[in-house]
Amino acid sequence: MTPPLPRNRNYRVLWSGMFLSELAGEVAYIAFPLLVLAHGGSAAAVAGVAAVLAGARTLVSLPAGVLADRVDRKRVMAATQGVRTVAMLSVAVTVLLGDCPLWQVLLVAVVEGAAAGVFVPAENAALPQVVPEDVLPRALARNAARPFAALLIGPALAGFTFGLHEVLPFALNTSVLAASFVALAALHLPRRAAGVPADGGTVSVAAPRLGGFGPLLRMRTVRATMAWIVGVNLAFHTLVVLVLVVSGEEHVAPGQMGLMMTCFGAGGLVGALIADRLHAAALPPGALVIGSTWVFAAVAVAMAYASRGVPLGVLLGVAATAMPVANTTVITCQLASVPDGLRGRLSGLVALGSELAATAGPVTAGVLATGTGNGAASMLGAAGLLAVVAVGATLSPALRGLALPRPSGAPQPARS
């Protein structure tokens, strides 16, 4: 029998390894631009580093999903953390010895982004191997707290340590990634078993092909939830960028803007706690997803008319509170409907859709801000995007009929 989550050693190891990975990513996202600027780099160079980090993650999404289905997932996770550790150590050593050239920063950014992108599908696909399906909603609710906690801690830690000495954030990241590597080396994953999708049809997972995304895209649940993920991420990233743009145009103090992002992170943490309780209350998953989407749209409308500064941040936090509720429901239903041999590909597909939406969000925000010339009108435009997604979700039979895994007394597979 698998022990409850608080006593599930493998789940704790997996959670810790991913949290350390996400924390390192947040630190790197701030530390790299600070390093480039400190050594006379231009705004274009800073943008280039950020683009390389995001681009490398996006490009490896689908191949990483295939890799997670074909190779031992523990080895994939440990190897990527080892590679990231060595790459970050090279920056720390170079900074300590003298000037770190831009080409090295860009090269390490490619390695960091690609390795982090390979890590995520393996970790996501490994989760159902260490917790029973009926516990997945609770496990995913706890997992949802990780990125928001990393968002609250990582940037502040990067700025503080860089202020003390520019080598410190990279030395810190090296230590964090090394700790993640050691933790994952102690992970025990049960033997992987084949299965059939919960929403009908048959899928052969005995010898998955190099591509193999066709069976996923033929599953109604996967298609509907992927459309929801892309739509919500596009609209939400558009809204967040517009909040920053409008706040800058209306001369909101930098401290208040930082507090707004803190509200966003805190709201996500609260949402992760609420998600666990809502799943325990056995509320219909379709209602949770559709209801959360309408909450996003309503909050976006309120943000268009709210006072700039902290009140806007509080509303952003309210929207962030609903995000883990919807996300954990969607991901649980996805994992439950897909056999183990395709879960890595599923995670890669979700990562690709999320990354593309995150990239298109700022572009959409720029179009809305330029086209309307008015902060309130541009945010209403983002609210309109969310309303379109909410209407689509409400009309979707697949989303209305989402089902969470039911408790099962079946024994867990033996460890390999």
Return the percentage of the chain with pLDDT > 70, whole number: 91
pLDDT value of residue 100: 85
pLDDT value of residue 192: 61
The two domains 5-185 and 214-400 share their CATH topology (first three levels equal):
yes
Domain boundary assignment for the chain: 5-185, 214-400
The confidence band for 245, taking pLDDT boundaries of 50, 70 and 90, is: confident
Q: Which CATH number fits domain 214-400: 1.20.1250.20, 3.40.1280.10, 1.10.3470.10, 3.40.309.10?
A: 1.20.1250.20
Compute the average pLDDT of residues 365-375.
84
Helix (H) or strand (E) holding 114: helix 102-130
pLDDT value of residue 81: 95
Three-state DSSP state, 399: helix
Question: What is the pTM for the complete model shown?
Answer: 0.80
Backbone angles phi, psi at 340, to 5 degrees: -55, -40
Structure tokens at 273: 């706690």
Other CB atoms within 10 A of residue 338 CB:
28
- Helix residue ranges, H only, 165-253: 168-185, 214-217, 220-249
CATH 3.40.50.12780 corresponds to the domain 5-185: no
Q: Are 39 and 166 in contact (CB under 8 A)?
A: no
Between 195 and 279, where is the model more confident? 279
Rounded Cα–Cα distance for residues 150 and 155 (Å):
8
pLDDT value of residue 203: 42
Nearest residue to 324 via CA among 275, 375, 370, 396: 275
Structure tokens at 244: 């920053």
Compute the average pLDDT of residues 87-101.
91
Radius of gyration of the chain, Cα coordinates, nearest whole angstrom? 21
Rounded Cα–Cα distance for residues 232 and 323 (Å):
10
Q: Average the pLDDT over each of 232-236, 249-253, 286-290, 408-412 and give the range with the smallest value.
A: 408-412
Nearest residue to 170 via CA among 37, 29, 16: 29
Structure tokens at 73: 């997932």
Rounded Cα–Cα distance for residues 90 and 69 (Å):
31
Rounded Cα–Cα distance for residues 255 and 229 (Å):
32
Q: Which residues pair with 190 in a beta bridge?
A: 415
Three-state DSSP state, 100: coil
Q: Is the pLDDT of residue 119 over 90?
A: yes
pLDDT per position as a tens digit, 258-297: 778 788 888 888 988 888 788 777 788 899 999 999 999 9
pLDDT per position as a tens digit, 126-174: 998 888 887 888 888 888 888 888 888 888 888 889 889 999 999 999 9
